[in-house]
Amino acid sequence: MHDLLIYNSLSNKKEVFKPIKEGYVGMYVCGPTVYSNVHLGNVRTFMSFDMVFRYFLHLGYKVRYVRNITDAGHLTDDSEEDKISTKARLEQLEPMEIVQKYTTDFHLILQKFNFLPPSIEPTATGHIVEQIKAIELILENGLAYEVNGSVYFDVLKYNEKEHYGILSKRKIEDAIENTRVLDGQSDKKNPQDFALWKKAEPEHIQRWDSPWGVGFPGWHLECTVMSTKYLGEEFDIHGGGMDLKFPHHECEIAQAQACNHRAPVKYWMHGNMLTMNGKKMAKSTGNNILPEEIFTGENDNISKPYTPSVARFFMMQAHYRSVLDFSNDAIMASEKGFGRLMDALTIVTSVKASEKSTLDVSAWKAKCYEAMNDDFNTPVLIANLFEGVKWINLLKENQESLTQEDLDLLKETMHIFI
């Protein structure tokens, strides 16, 4: 079997996968911020890593898959809006009620898509103590500073010895405002610096005591703390959406280097975005669909409901690093294709074996694995599976023949990958 190749965002090329510990894989994926229903773009990212998780398990690896829940009211975009606190006020609920409500929704949607649960699903609020300790260590190592109850990472000082921009390939002078506009922004030494701890204003609902006063942790810190706590100071794979590469993942690398003096991750993997009808998905324009709306058909962008299996198959038809466009025509075509696969699985059970084989099943099976070993190339795998469908229909019509051994191999391979 060929080596497994993974496209590493750090080197921008495919590399042979060599785990840090033989037979084991440690994988961390950035999970959702639970303030609303999980959107389809997020589902696509998590689905890609569910596929990666499953394939490693199939190859016989022991995998520790960690996917976090961001349940602290972090400021996760270029605004001062704390999305969890804002939603809590709108719905007149406690922040933890919002968190519970949308964490439950997240799990229900992923169950419908038949995701395997991660090995560990840590929460940001469950690791406040560890985040404070990490900040203390970064301060001790001279790579952060405290001002007016907030603590900032000193990017320029870090960059004197390390490379801030190693993942995103950005130059330090271009990395201006790499977090978001916040109250107290003028407290920073440099605009590139990002918050490790923010002083809580009176209206901020989620708040914790710290050596620097009452506040809350920065957005990037939780993932550094939780990934290294459960996977070690260096682990195999860190995944997430391409939109997280900068600043989130770049800051994760800097924080881990500042704490542990080593690069935290061997292979960085990034999934691409999901568009709809050729445009970016956005609630404001109505160019948007929730996973549940696909299952019920209650959305103006689709003509009928589709099963989770069809929606999953639709997403697997594109490579995880490619942009995928959702449309009514596209998912309708996927339903037809998925139906052909399911019909073939039914037909193959009634096919009779012959004394000789006219088809090379072993070579076909090898092509299926070659596709998956080439950076998890599901579109090529699916093309090979449809070759198998064609064979099954020819076998049914007695236009080709297989021995019992080859017929069993064909059935087994179809069941492995469908």
Q: How far is CA 187 from CA 53, 144, 190, 400, in A?
A: 43, 13, 9, 75
> Tokens 């996927």 belong to which residue?
334
- Residue 146, beta-bridge partner list: 151
Instruction: Give Rg (Cα) of the chain.
Output: 24
The predicted structure's pLDDT at residue 86: 80
The predicted structure's pLDDT at residue 332: 98
Copy the structure tokens of residue 288: 């948007």
233 neighbors 256 (Cβ within 8 angstroms): yes
Which tens digit of pLDDT belongs to each residue from 329-357? Answer: 999 999 999 999 999 999 999 999 999 99
124 neighbors 103 (Cβ within 8 angstroms): no
The predicted structure's pLDDT at residue 76: 43
Strand, coil or helix: what is 267? strand
Sign of torsion over alpha carbons 89, 91, 93, 94: negative
The predicted structure's pLDDT at residue 78: 42
Low-confidence stretches of the chain (pLDDT beneath 70): 1, 73-81, 174-185
pTM higher than 0.85 for the full model?
yes
256 neighbors 225 (Cβ within 8 angstroms): no
- Residue 24, beta-bridge partner list: 62
Torsion angle (degrees, nearest 10) of CA 85, 87, 91, 94: -30
> Tokens 């709108």 belong to which residue?
90
Give the length of the chain: 418
> Tokens 């990212």 belong to which residue?
45
Count Cβ neighbours within 10 Å for each residue of 374-387 and write b for 16 or more, e otherwise: bbbbbeebbebbee
Q: How many Cβ atoms are within 10 Å of 86's Cβ, its own excluded?
A: 15
The predicted structure's pLDDT at residue 81: 60
The predicted structure's pLDDT at residue 126: 97
- Residue 280, beta-bridge partner list: 275
Q: Which residues, at least 6 apart from 266, have a Cβ–Cβ distance to it below 8 Å?
A: 8, 20, 234, 235, 236, 237
* Pairing mode of beta strands 274-276, 279-280: antiparallel
Report the chain's terminal Cα–Cα distance, integer Å. Answer: 20
Q: How many Cβ atoms are within 10 Å of 322's Cβ, its own excluded?
A: 12
55 neighbors 372 (Cβ within 8 angstroms): yes
Q: Which residues, at least 6 apart from 383, have a Cβ–Cβ distance to it below 8 Å?
A: 371
* Pairing mode of beta strands 5-8, 24-29: unpaired
33/102 Cα distance (integer angstroms) = 9
